[in-house]
Structure 1
Amino acid sequence: MSAVGSEAPPCSTVPEAVHRRRWAILAVLMLSLLIVVLDNSILNVAMKTIATPPPTGLGATHSQLEWAVNSYTLVFAGLLFTSGLLADRLGRKRVLLAGLVLFGAGSVLAGLSESPGELIAFRALMGVGGALVMPSTLAVLMNVFERDEQPRAMGIWTGGVGVAIAVGPATGGLLLEHFWWGSVFMVNVPIVIAALIAMAVLVPESRDPAPGRPDVPGVLLSVAGLVLLVYGIIKGGQLADFTDPEVLLTVGGGLAVLAGFVLHERRSRHPALDVRYFREPAFSAAVTAVALVFFALMGVTFFMVFYTQSVRGYTPFQTGLLLLPLAASQLFFASRAELAVKRFGARATCTAGLLAVAATMAAFVLLGTDTPIWVLEVLFVVQGAGMAHVTPPVTVTIMQALPREKAGSGSAVNNIFRQVGGALGVAVLGSLLSAAYRGWIDGELAGVPGLSEGDRRAAGESIEATRALAERMGPAGRTLAERADEAFVHAMHVTVAASAAVTLAGAVVVAWFMPGRPGASEGKGEREWRRLPEGPAERAVDGALDDARPRG
């Protein structure tokens, strides 16, 4: 499936003791990956419950719900650069274990939160743990599998995201039907304990024999830039006005800081992100593709929960079951994407996958307040299949572009664009949804007698707030509740149309820049790019790994 290199090394580079238990190690890595992705998919189902006033929920507003997601993803994304470098320097197993401990502690504290502010803060702590876990899993994978087996292993690794998406919503819905909302975080604890024990026994230690220094200024610039950018987008949705001075200043400031980050990385002797890799069109196209796929996935799952529960009346558990086709389709096709790449090439496979995602996003405009639910399920199957033909090939492209000893840094690049894409998907699509909803429902709220300006603005922030007002109005609020459903569906149509356009643009980028079929004619630059991972440094880390393998 490799889009970057197709020739295996002439001899084994992985110690025999490690090679024999490589699939068991992959299973442990999948368990670690499961909790990181599982948490976000569970949280999506719990959104409506957390928005409910105490004691059932926390009474979180629409923007607070977005920050409950984005506080995790922004901290995660901001620390991925440094965590990848730490894993290469200190040892990937050691960093993995530390990350799991932090993630478990953050899960317990998040489950015991007494306010939306506490939940946001403890979700950020979980982001620190997740940032230590995610890059290390893929880095370990690159060091325990031979090059010719890496595409298959990475296909299974990316398919693990589908497993978490499948297990998360249904598990979250089941927990919410029998326990309090905090149980969706407490479920992480036994998984963390099992992963810690299995990892201590099975996973070998590996590290970069010549690591660079952590780039603290670069990390701070990246975190500050992302926070400003996403905060401005969320604020624009709250105000229903993206031209507001506060929005323009924060978004502009975020872009300026991120530009400073790029300039700093270009000049730094030990950059957190080596921007020279982005000079290669195939590499840039790969990270663009993975960002857009998760932009669509996180954005859709965020607002689809409100569509199924608020508009269609399904329970959290039923909503989780409705999301299963999306996850099952992704899981089924992810392990088979290698066959498509071998036959048609990475360019055709990824382009077709992105076109399928864009088509399903556009087709969501078919959904109304009473559309047969099987239409949604069919769209989920097609979308999952499209995503599955994008993520494995681009992951291989990114990871095999780097020497093996830099696997932590390469994994950080892959995951940073996953998480930034997901964070921006929630922020951009969530804010667009909020703005479109308010633009429609404000006219309806203006006709409600005796409603103050402050109450009118609060009631127009989300469909849940409008429905709460309608319930307080008694029988007279039935019409307002119906109008709220119509306003939400209208806002959803606007949102998915915008997402489809962005994904379509990504398909064009991939079709233009991704490499074609293996063995096809290629230029000198691309041949050199394919040979990049096979240098003396790779052989050096193989020796370090051999020294670290268990004896006897």
Structure 2
Amino acid sequence: MWRQPKTVWSVAFACVIAFMGIGLVDPILKPIADDLGASASQVSLLFTSYMAVMGVAMLGTGWVSSRAGAKRTLLLGLFIIILGAGLAGTQDGVTGIVAFRALWGLGNALFIATALATIVNAARGSVGQAIILYEAALGVGIATGPLLGGWLGAHSWRYPFFGVSALMVIAFVAVIATLPATPPTGQHTSITAPFKALSHRGLLTVGITALLYNFGFFTLLAFTPFPLALGAHEVGLIFFGWGLLLAFTSVVVAPRLQRRFGTLPGMVGALLGFAVILAVMAVGTDSKAVLATCVILAGGFLGVNNTLITETVMKVAPVERGVASAAYSFVRFGGGAIAPWLAGKLGERSVHLPFWVGAGAVVLSVAVLLTARSLIDATDETLAEAHSSVEEEELEAEAMTVGDA
């Protein structure tokens, strides 16, 4: 799995930088609110605008990449992120930051959807192994984002934005230097292809599951820094621990759980575990130690779920991988964009309420997921048959080698 062409490593490195943007603003949410005199719900719009634009823009990523080619699409996305992140750091009001976070989301949409398809298509090994590499990049990016945000944010809330912009310049150069030219295939993807893909019951069900689970995910991400009431550096370290555990379980634990129990039981267990974590946070919101511990532990469940649900999306629908990724991301990010703002609004009434709502949404996601049991189980059966065929071929090759000797 780790013997990959430089194309895969180049795109994976750029993914790490791109995913830093998700957790980067966590440590500086409260400093921004304090410095600019904004409420929790107003500052949470940094997540909402980012996610909403990213979700809607996902619908057009296949249309763009099929005409411009994967490399140009990746570079366009990176260039837009460089602009969005850099200009966000120059603003003197929440409205301006929110607007340029939206631009940042547009760049992320072009980059992320194309990057996932590029890694899956270019990587050696199975689709599952390629997705583990992608999730590893996601985990490392999410882990280092809060750490970088906390370190730079301790000096000024503007510095993390400038930092991401600078790192994206490095990623931009790396993609130019290492990714070979990828001209358009000639098969243009329709702008309506993601909508048509959602007519497939399995893909739509998994997308709605992710939408509901995102309510819990972004409650944790966007609201927890406010009741924690710690400095940017401390919040960054807590979410760094969360990201490290997420990266570890997505790469190491998720594949083992999948082999031992199956994809559906693995996702259900991870989601229910995350719901319990959110419920504990709802009860113990007044304790910084409880919140910090639960944030870190939540990373373990989220890492397992992220890997298994992404692999399921790539396999459950009979459509091109780029189209499946775009359709799934549209539902997941577009619908889930309301969660950060809603968490902020609920938190203004009661600091316990956002966590209860998040836990309820995650439990509901399990109920939705179980309606697609037969479709998900079928992907496991196909995977088992493929593994069995490979093992038989290896045994036959070994027997022929021994016979020749």
Q: TM-score, normalised by structure 1?
A: 0.64
Selected match of 1:509 from 368, 381, 390: 368
Residue 297 (str. 1) matches residue 273 (str. 2): no
Q: Partner residue of 1:218?
A: none
Residue 172 (str. 1) matches residue 149 (str. 2): yes
* Distance of 1:333 and 1:106 partners within structure 2: 31
* Distance of 1:36 and 1:96 partners within structure 2: 11
Q: Secondary structure at the match of 1:181?
A: coil
* Distance of 2:197 and 2:73 partners within structure 1: 26
- The one-letter amino acid of 1:331's match is A
1:431-457 superposed Cα distances (whole Å, 9 cap, x missing partner): 2222x2xxxxxxxxxxxxxxxxxxxxx
Q: Partner residue of 1:249?
A: none
1:69-88 superposed Cα distances (whole Å, 9 cap, x missing partner): 22222221111111222112
Q: Partner residue of 2:8?
A: 26
Q: Partner residue of 1:219?
A: none
* Distance of 2:179 and 2:234 partners within structure 1: 37
Mapping for residues 306-345 of structure 1, pairs under 5 Å: 306-309=226-229, 314-336=230-252, 337-345=254-262
Distance 1:381 1:306, change over 3 A: closer
* Distance of 1:324 and 1:206 partners within structure 2: 38
Shift in Å at residue 91 of structure 1?
A: 0.6
- The one-letter amino acid of 1:326's match is W
Mapping for residues 110-509 of structure 1, pairs under 5 Å: 110-146=88-124, 148-178=125-155, 180-204=156-180, 205=182, 207-213=184-190, 215=191, 271-280=192-201, 282-309=202-229, 314-336=230-252, 337-369=254-286, 371=287, 373=289, 375-401=290-316, 406-420=320-334, 422-434=336-348, 436=349, 491-509=350-368
Assess if the C-alpha contact under 8 Å between 2:76 and 2:110 holds in 1: yes
Assess if the C-alpha contact under 8 Å between 2:27 and 2:153 holds in 1: no
- The one-letter amino acid of 1:194's match is I
* Distance of 1:159 and 1:418 partners within structure 2: 20
Q: Whose radius of gyration is greater, 1 or 2?
A: 1
* Distance of 1:319 and 1:506 partners within structure 2: 28
Distance 1:390 1:170, change over 3 A: same
Assess if the C-alpha contact under 8 Å between 2:207 and 2:328 holds in 1: yes
* Distance of 2:129 and 2:3 partners within structure 1: 16
Whichever structure has more helix as a proportion of its residues is 2
Assess if the C-alpha contact under 8 Å between 2:145 and 2:240 holds in 1: no
* Distance of 1:163 and 1:426 partners within structure 2: 22
* Distance of 2:313 and 2:185 partners within structure 1: 18
Q: Secondary structure at the match of 1:379?
A: helix
Distance 1:211 1:175, change over 3 A: same
Shift in Å at residue 292 of structure 1?
A: 3.1
Residue 42 (str. 1) matches residue 42 (str. 2): no
* Distance of 1:133 and 1:34 partners within structure 2: 12
Shift in Å at residue 334 of structure 1?
A: 0.3
Give every structure 1 segment of 4 or more consecutive aligned residues whose post-TM-superposition deviation is greater than 4 Å: 401-404, 517-522
Assess if the C-alpha contact under 8 Å between 1:31 and 1:191 holds in 2: no
* Distance of 2:194 and 2:354 partners within structure 1: 32
1:120-160 superposed Cα distances (whole Å, 9 cap, x missing partner): 222222122112111110111121025x5221221231233
- The one-letter amino acid of 2:120's match is M
Q: TM-score, normalised by structure 2?
A: 0.86
1:35-55 superposed Cα distances (whole Å, 9 cap, x missing partner): 332123121211111112xxx
Q: Partner residue of 2:399?
A: none
* Distance of 1:143 and 1:338 partners within structure 2: 20
Shift in Å at residue 195 of structure 1?
A: 1.1
* Distance of 2:137 and 2:213 partners within structure 1: 15
Q: Secondary structure at the match of 1:68?
A: helix
* Distance of 2:380 and 2:31 partners within structure 1: 53
Distance 1:395 1:115, change over 3 A: same
Assess if the C-alpha contact under 8 Å between 1:84 and 1:412 holds in 2: yes
Shift in Å at residue 421 of structure 1?
A: 5.0
- The one-letter amino acid of 1:355's match is L
Assess if the C-alpha contact under 8 Å between 1:64 and 1:116 holds in 2: yes
Assess if the C-alpha contact under 8 Å between 1:347 and 1:517 holds in 2: no
Q: Secondary structure at the match of 1:492?
A: coil
Assess if the C-alpha contact under 8 Å between 1:303 and 1:492 holds in 2: no
Shift in Å at residue 335 of structure 1?
A: 0.8
Total equivalences in the alignment: 381
